[in-house]
Amino acid sequence: MSGTEVGPGIDRSGFRHEVCVYDGDAAFAGSVAPYVRDGVLAGEAVLVVVAPPKVDRLRAALGPDAARVRFLDMHTVGRNPGTIIPMWRDFVDEHVLTGRAVRGVGEPVWPGRNRAALAECHHHEALLNLAFRDDLDFGLLCPYDARSLAPEVLDRAFARHPYPQPRPENLSCYEEVAVLDAALAEPLPAPAGDAGSLGFGIDDLREVRALVRAEAVVRGLGADRCDDLVLAVTELAANSINHGGGRGMLHVWHEDGHLVCEVTDAGRIRDPLVGRRRPAASPPNARGLWLVHHLCDVVQLRSSAAGTLVRLHVATCA
């Protein structure tokens, strides 16, 4: 397959997923603005999804060219890393179907992400390569702040981006099979020792909802967030009953400022993008994991021959 010239100095022969490392907030705009400006000058549709202070810096660096760029707040649209791919999918489809190339900047990792969110950010970065592998006119740059992020975070970033700018000798190379396998197979820490537990079947959904609601109230979740979490866990329990052998196990505990609900069953999921693609109108039972991703702050899904585990995190007030 031959490449297609879509911007100054760039020859694209497929989805171009790049990582760049910058040294602190003051260096952000200088590292990212040339990439964005090249897209603008090439007539590409450009979307930048970063934290609001970085939007301000980038606007200032771009000057009048900023008016031709769309900006979104990553802290809002990427709160749950599992909802970022659908956002990029919508933007790409909006423009590529009309023959316009697309360029993006996305920064899903920032200081303060907790352990669970950071793990899912790394899996998100790997899954981008699968979700957009057939998109010939989409380039995405992912900046990482070397001053504020741990060395192991940078190492994992380089292992998930086929196109570094440039790759330091001491950091990992991209390994597609390994990082895609990890998205479903990477182990999670065991539930907390004081976790509430409930085995359930088709006649036990009321007890499932009651346990989750009781824990949510104790931890100070507002009524709407409580309802969201109860609905999300109910969707998972129904999936276990319908597709996971008819039974499942629920664990509920508090960790790192979040109420965590984990549902396990004997079923197996083989598609690492499940829940990250906008569902079709039918069948309606294909929407459960999509809904779960949009109701919770972080969703962790792991599946193997031993069964499936889905862990939900919702920030609490207690």
CATH of domain 196-315: 3.30.565.10
- The single residue listed with the structure tokens 């609900």 is 261
Domain chopping of the chain, boundaries = 4-185, 196-315
pLDDT in tens, 131-189: 999 998 999 999 999 999 999 999 999 999 998 766 677 777 888 889 999 999 999 99
Structure tokens at 148: 């504020």
Whether the CA torsion 123, 125, 131, 134 is positive or negative: it is negative
216-247 per-residue burial string, b: 16 or more CB within 10 A, e: under 16: beebebeeebbebbbebbbbbbbbbbebbeeb
Specify whether the CB–CB gap between 29 and 48 falls below 8 A: no
pLDDT in tens, 82-133: 999 999 999 999 998 888 999 999 999 999 999 999 999 999 999 999 999 9
- The model's confidence at residue 8, banded by pLDDT at 50, 70 and 90, is very low
Structure tokens at 56: 């301000």
Question: Domain 4-185: which CATH class?
Answer: alpha beta
Specify whether the CB–CB gap between 159 and 179 falls below 8 A: yes
Which is more confident, 89 or 278? 89
pLDDT in tens, 19-76: 999 999 999 999 999 999 999 999 999 999 999 999 999 999 999 999 999 999 999 9
pLDDT at 3: 30
Reduce the secondary structure of the chain to three states and give it as a string: CCCEEEECCEEECCCEEEEEEECCHHHHHHHHHHHHHHHHHCCCEEEEEECHHHHHHHHHHHHHHHHHCEEEEHHHHCCCHHHHHHHHHHHHHHHHCCCCCEEEEECCCCCCCCHHHHHHHHHHHHHHHHHCCCCCCEEEEEEEECCCCCHHHHHHHHHCCCEEECCCCCCCCCCHHHHHHHHHHCCCCCCCCCCEEEEECCCCHHHHHHHHHHHHHHCCCCHHHHHHHHHHHHHHHHHHHHHCCCCEEEEEEEECCEEEEEEEECCCCCCCCCCCCCCCCCCHHHCHHHHHHHHCCEEEEEEECCEEEEEEEEECCC
Which residues, in sequence order, are bridge partners of residue 317? none
pLDDT in tens, 199-245: 999 999 999 999 999 999 999 999 999 999 999 999 999 999 999 99
Task: Please state, rounded to an integer, the average pLDDT across all residues of the chain.
Answer: 92
pLDDT at 306: 95
For residues 135 and 125, what is the distance between their CA atoms, to the nearest angstrom? Answer: 16
Instruction: Give how far the C-alpha of residue 184 lies from the chain's centroid of Cα atoms, to the nearest Å.
Output: 13
Please tell me the number of Cα atoms within 13 Å of 52 on its side-chain side. Answer: 2
Phi, psi for residue 268 in degrees, rounded to 5: -135, 135
Q: Could you tell me which of 140, 141, 147, 146 has the C-alpha nearest to residue 168?
A: 146
For residues 58 and 207, what is the distance between their CA atoms, to the nearest angstrom? Answer: 51
